[in-house]
Amino acid sequence: MEESIYGNHREAMMDVMNIIMGSIDELRANMLEENGSDPIEHCLARIKSEESMREKCRRQALPENTQSALNVIHDAIGIRVVCAFISDVYKVRDHLKSIDKVEVVEEKDYIKHAKPNGYRSLHVILRYDNKYYVEMQLRTISMDTWAALEHHIHYKKTASEQDKLIIAELKRCADELASTDMSMQTIRDMIRKDL
């Protein structure tokens, strides 16, 4: 049997993933107590499968070894946090920065600076205890729904003339959803001001 690309680190990786998820759960509980609402709709965590990590190493012309998987590629541990409101996305980001032994090594804000195709999300790469990288994707429900649909188009096996129409329509939807997210944020802020 082939040795794991993660060597003997899988258990430590699970521990890191659980520490981050536990800290997010604490934030949720605190905000629920303070504001009466949970800032997070749902949260998913995973360790990239052996096969996916090996395939990514090949795609990036890297050796298929533990060094590549844990130190060159930064998404062996992945967590996606989906919030109802844009402001909550940034609250979660700020919370992540405050976790003991966590260092933010990269942040890409595709909410304020959307990709040309309309993709919006906040990507943060964390390093825990100077050892393990965690890729965080923070987004709203509408951003998450859009990304799931775009993912299906991206991984479609065959291209067609209709794909150009679909891509243009997806971009239009992304812009409308972004506008709706802003409107929903404004409405919530107005409601909270009246409380």
pLDDT in tens, 6-58: 999 999 999 999 999 999 999 999 999 998 889 999 999 999 999 999 999 99
| Domain covering 1-195, topology | Beta Polymerase; domain 2 (3.30.460)
Residue 158 has a pLDDT of: 63
Q: For the chain, give the mean pLDDT.
A: 93
φ and ψ of 173, to 5 deg: -65, -40
**pLDDT(161) > 80:** no
Mean pLDDT for 96-110 is 97
Q: Which of 47-51, 104-108, 117-121, 157-161 has the lowest mean pLDDT?
A: 157-161
Look at strands 122-128 and 77-83 and give their pairing. Answer: unpaired
Question: Do the Cβ atoms of 174 and 120 come closer than 8 Å?
Answer: yes
Read off the tokens for 165.
Answer: 């129409």
**pLDDT(137) > 80:** yes
In angstroms, rounded to a whole number, what is the distance separating the alpha carbons of residues 87 and 112?
12
Instruction: Supply the pTM of this predicted model.
Output: 0.91
Look at strands 132-140 and 77-83 and give their pairing. Answer: parallel
Would you kindly state where each structural domain of the chain is located, as residue ranges?
1-195
Residue 159 has a pLDDT of: 61
Residue percentage of the chain with pLDDT more than 90 = 84
Residue 166 has a pLDDT of: 86
